[in-house]
Amino acid sequence: MVITQIKCYQAGLPLHEGSYKWSGGNSVEVFDSTVVAVHTDEGVTGYGEICPLGAAYLPAYAAGARTGIAELAPQLIGHDPTQLALINQAMDSAMRGHPYVKSAIDVACWDILGKVCGQPVAALLGGRFGESFALYRAISQEAPEQMARMVGRYRSEGYTKFQLKVGGDPDVDIERIRLASKELQRGDVLVADANTGWTQHQAIRVADAVRDVDVYIEQPCMRYEECLAVREHTNRPFILDEVIDDIGAVLRGYEDRAMDVVNLKISKVGGLTKARQIRDLCVSLGIAMTIEDTWGGDIVTAAIAHLAHSTPPRFLFSSTDFNSYVTVSIADGAPQRDGGRLAAPPRPGLGFTPRMEVLGKPVYTS
Ligand code: MG
């Protein structure tokens, strides 16, 4: 089997809540998502999706994904999409870095492999642990009272894990964490994710002020060394996200005892092939993970679900169902949240059918 053509589609994904806000005054109203279709000579087509969280979150942006795929795609024609290591080697030889550009192509190739084998991708990634897995809900950065209300609202919908978008004014953030924690019930999990927004001294102030609150601190500062300084100061459990962008970063963090949990985003590390390597390493090292992506719709949610569902529950801290945040569905049969939990589709490949009437005409054809 060989790749004969690669196409890109663009989808705008508006948010049910109107906007999503995080540190640094960043916000998104409509996510700009790119769907990749990888066609083969045997008539099997695989799909992947890449949706950066705007341009200011990671070194990635939506138009860059499409430009990068247009650069890469012609060099993949004639390769066997079911040979994932070879496909990844071909992508890495043709383009240095830019993991987010490669992610949707890699995911589409996993979809093809699953369809060819007649197996769900979760089975190929190790198997299905249990019936479903727990999700977290991201709470957009708003006034403290509003964020506490949203925790209560999403709690009533079945979520038990909540991630507050902080990383703003430290005094307001302390109030955000304290008020939100009052909404929790026994067994709930609260994370304060600063998304690199605090300076080191601000982060230490906030961490000190919430020493008596049952809360995890996530990625307080921009640089790894700053985060490590905060980690060494605080008694709160600690999550690293933005700085964990490859396997070397996980190993460095492990050696330094720099985190208790990592946030593993599929497109941040270049696709399911590399995310699985990191996932398996973290399981071996005893590091729990939030398994998710930067953002996305039904196709990203399906890819997340297959990786999360095939992860031992003990090490799956939480995961995300981005398709329930957005108003547009781009695929039928994608996983749908049930309360605060999600399951990977049991069908071959990623298990969905793209809605071509929503995706429209391709914006790129190789
Ligand atoms: Mg994060």
Q: What is the pLDDT of residues 11-70, one digit of tens each?
A: 999 999 999 999 999 999 999 999 999 999 999 999 999 999 999 999 999 999 999 999
Please give the pLDDT value at position 332: 98
Please give the pLDDT value at position 209: 98
Please give the pLDDT value at position 86: 98
The alpha carbon of 265 and the centre of ligand 1 are apart by a number of angstroms equal to 9
Please give the pLDDT value at position 269: 98
The alpha carbon of 240 and the centre of ligand 1 are apart by a number of angstroms equal to 7
Q: Mind listing the pLDDT tens digit for each residue in 318-328? A: 999 999 999 99
Please give the pLDDT value at position 104: 98
Please give the pLDDT value at position 129: 98
The alpha carbon of 348 and the centre of ligand 1 are apart by a number of angstroms equal to 31
Please give the pLDDT value at position 335: 98
The alpha carbon of 19 and the centre of ligand 1 are apart by a number of angstroms equal to 17
The alpha carbon of 39 and the centre of ligand 1 are apart by a number of angstroms equal to 34
Query: Would you call 165 a catalytic residue per the annotation?
Result: yes
Q: Do domains 3-119+356-365 and 123-353 have the same CATH topology?
A: no
Please give the pLDDT value at position 106: 98
| 3-state SS track over the chain | CCEEEEEEEEEEEEECCCCEEEHHHEEECEEEEEEEEEEECCCCEEEEEECCCCCCCCCCCHHHHHHHHHHHHHHCCCCCCCCHHHHHHHHHHHCCCCHHHHHHHHHHHHHHHHHHHCCEHHHHCCCCCCCCEECEEEECCCCHHHHHHHHHHHHHCCCCEEEEECCCCHHHHHHHHHHHHCCCCCCCEEEEECCCCCCHHHHHHHHHHCCCCCCEEECCCCCHHHHHHHHHHCCCCEEECCCCCCHHHHHHHHHCCCCCEEEEEHHHHCCHHHHHHHHHHHHHHCCEEEEECCCCCHHHHHHHHHHHHCCCHHHEEEECCHHHCECCCCEECCCCCECCEECCCCCCECCCEECHHHHCCCCEEC
The alpha carbon of 331 and the centre of ligand 1 are apart by a number of angstroms equal to 26
State the chain's mean pLDDT as an integer: 97
Please give the pLDDT value at position 58: 94
Task: For residue 219, name the pLDDT band (cuts at 50, 70, 90).
Answer: very high
Compute the average pLDDT of residues 121-150.
98
The alpha carbon of 149 and the centre of ligand 1 are apart by a number of angstroms equal to 21
Compute the average pLDDT of residues 293-297.
97
Query: Would you call 361 a catalytic residue per the annotation?
Result: no
The alpha carbon of 244 and the centre of ligand 1 are apart by a number of angstroms equal to 10
The alpha carbon of 363 and the centre of ligand 1 are apart by a number of angstroms equal to 30
Q: Which of 271, 269, 348, 297 is nearest to 9 (CA)?
A: 297
Q: Mind listing the pLDDT tens digit for each residue in 305-346? A: 999 999 999 999 999 999 999 999 999 999 999 999 999 999
Residue of 7, 115, 165, 268 marked catalytic: 165
Q: Mind listing the pLDDT tens digit for each residue in 238-269? A: 999 999 999 999 999 999 999 999 999 999 99
Q: Mind listing the pLDDT tens digit for each residue in 98-110? A: 999 999 999 999 9
Compute the average pLDDT of residues 139-164.
97
Please give the pLDDT value at position 182: 96
Please give the pLDDT value at position 70: 98
Compute the average pLDDT of residues 118-123.
98
Residue of 161, 265, 268, 274 marked catalytic: 265
Please give the pLDDT value at position 319: 98
Q: Which CATH number is associated with domain 123-353?
A: 3.20.20.120
Q: Looking at the structure, give the CATH architecture of the domain made up of residues 3-119+356-365.
A: 2-Layer Sandwich (3.30)
Please give the pLDDT value at position 364: 97
The alpha carbon of 294 and the centre of ligand 1 are apart by a number of angstroms equal to 9
Instruction: Round to whole Å and give the CA distance between 56 and 80.
Output: 35
The alpha carbon of 292 and the centre of ligand 1 are apart by a number of angstroms equal to 10
The alpha carbon of 243 and the centre of ligand 1 are apart by a number of angstroms equal to 10
In the chain, what are the domain boundaries?
A: 3-119+356-365, 123-353
